Amino acid sequence: MSATRSPKVSERVAPKAADPQPQKKKHDDDDGPDFATLLRAWIESHRASLLDSLRRLGKQPIGSFFTCMVMAVALSLPMGLSLLLSNVERLGGSWQRAAQISLYLQLEASATDGEALREQIKGIPGVADAEYVGRDQALEEFQQQSGLGEALKELPENPLPGVVLVTPTEVDKPALEALRQKLSELPKVQQAQLDLVWVERLAAILKLGDRFVFGLTVLLVSALLLVIGNTIRLHIENRRTEIEVIKLVGGTDSYVRRPFLYMGALYGFGAGILSWGVLAFGLNWLNDAVVGLAGLYGSDFALAGVPVADGLSLLLGAVLLGYIGAWIAVARHLRELAPK
């Protein structure tokens, strides 16, 4: 009887004793949060820092506005000068047209010879365009521009030759000189003249202006960093006790630094918006006087506004300057924020 009952007892006991799998599952559940949870926590932390910075700036609207306005004025000066230089360069006309080569033909060259020479010159490498001015047209233009119309009528014949005006594809002094020499050897050409003096003067003036704008930009960017750094330093001093408590309970430097970085970026964003508006208003206000002056000279020149690409670059640069200024200020004072 005992021999026959023992297998049944062992069969009832064996399933209960074996199988350690449930304990293994408990250990697997203690690995920690997954990546999605960490990402949500990181996003929530940045969102809270951004909202906190906006709330603190909103509590001081006048002070925040004037800080952004000071930064906007500093940003507008170099950007405005750069836009004015671009307009001056546009007013100077096309560089290619400014560096035209004038080919004075022989007096016996006919209009047919001039047109044939113009077509031949158009096919030469380095030439963008060519225009033939006949002798009669040249005399008429000279009479209008010189004011000697009555005196020229007394001449027995037209003393002016035909001219072919050659527009080069690029303004490069050695290349232009080589092209002038090549054109002077063409038949029916008596003289080839190239005048680059005023072009070189204008280029030198614009180069000087670019260097001045660059130097002014460096000085004003340094001033902006000082303004942002001093502003963020005041915010740090106002929250010194709060920060010391945060560090006392285990807050990291990144956690402490984050709200101030957002605050600097927000200052930069506000300054960029204001600077864009100041430039647009200033150019529009100045354009009325420029259009009136250009109309007196028979020109339809007008100042171009702030291009969208330049405005976005200005806005991005202002945000980066605010961020960098805040980073420098916090890094400098972070060592002093340890709890005592």
Residue 299 domain-assigned (yes or no): yes
Residues 60, 108: one domain? no
pLDDT of residue 87: 79
Structural domain ending residue among the three candidates 161, 195, 229:
195
pLDDT tens digits along 8-25: 444 444 444 444 444 444
The CATH number given to whatever domain includes residue 116 is 3.30.70.3040
Residues 86, 72: one domain? yes
pLDDT of residue 269: 94
Contact 162, 180 (CB under 8 A): no
Residues 115, 241: one domain? no
Residues 316, 285: one domain? yes
- Boundaries of domain holding 152: 100-195
Residues 240, 172: one domain? no
Structural domain ending residue among the three candidates 195, 220, 249:
195
CA torsion, ordered 219, 223, 226, 228, to nearest 10 deg: -130
pLDDT tens digits along 38-78: 788 778 878 888 888 888 888 888 888 998 998 898 889 88
Residue 191 domain-assigned (yes or no): yes
pLDDT tens digits along 91-108: 655 455 567 888 888 888
Residue 276 domain-assigned (yes or no): yes
Cα separation, 219 vs 160, in Å, equals 56
* Stated pTM of the model: 0.62
Residues 150, 299: one domain? no
Residue 25 domain-assigned (yes or no): no
Residues 89, 223: one domain? yes
Residues 142, 85: one domain? no
pLDDT tens digits along 267-309: 999 999 999 999 999 888 888 888 887 777 666 778 888 888 8
Residues 116, 179: one domain? yes
Structural domain ending residue among the three candidates 149, 170, 195:
195
pLDDT tens digits along 204-248: 887 888 888 888 889 888 888 888 888 888 888 888 877 778 777
Residue 145 domain-assigned (yes or no): yes
Residue 330 domain-assigned (yes or no): yes
Residue 5 domain-assigned (yes or no): no
Residue 35 domain-assigned (yes or no): no
Residues 327, 215: one domain? yes
Residues 211, 325: one domain? yes
- If one counts the domains in the chain, the total is 2
Residues 59, 177: one domain? no
pLDDT at 150 > cutoff 70 = no
